[in-house]
Structure 1
Amino acid sequence: MKLKEIAHSRTGDKGEISNISLIAYKKEDYALLKEKITSNKVKEYFSEICKGEVTRYELDEIGALNFVLDKTLGGGVTRSLALDKHGKSLGMALLEMEIEVD
């Protein structure tokens, strides 16, 4: 299944840092997100553009995961001509990730 079937995303960017949140539509799907979507998995998914660390923060109260991707935006939005590397686009790209569900 694709993540967009069970979650939506909020994103932002500052300089070379992209911030992507995955928010479960239903509280019961949050556990699946926590299990399947690790920092390593997000770093691997964005391996072509993410040259730094990926840190995951868990927001259990609202059923969300927040990922901070360092060294990802090619010097920052104002220095890049690649619109697809901006924070808003990365959130939509992450929602296309497929996960195995038992």
Structure 2
Amino acid sequence: MDWLVLIASGMLEAVWATALSASHGFRRWRPTLLFVVAVVASMAGLAYAMRTLPTGTAYAVWGGIGATLTVVWGFATSQERPTLARVLLLILLVGCVVGLKAVS
């Protein structure tokens, strides 16, 4: 259960990071509201998962999921260019996150 909460929290990290960018410095209220709700839920989920998971592993998995999904969203919306190097590095990042889960 803690791993599922951690994964959902990592996904919410991508939501709040994207909403933060879309808020244009908190000048747009809808993305700002989404940012606040998502960051609170993401942090609460991370805190919940860290009750039983090792801190370093939980934080690395949470951050890795959030970073990966944020970059993939940038690719999907054409805000970032998916170069071979970026794609390979994302695959490496996902592999490391899976590896941390496997050894925990």
Give the TM-score normalised by structure 1: 0.30
Which structure: larger Rg? 2
Bigger relative contact order (CA 8 A; separation at least 6): 1
More strand by share: 1
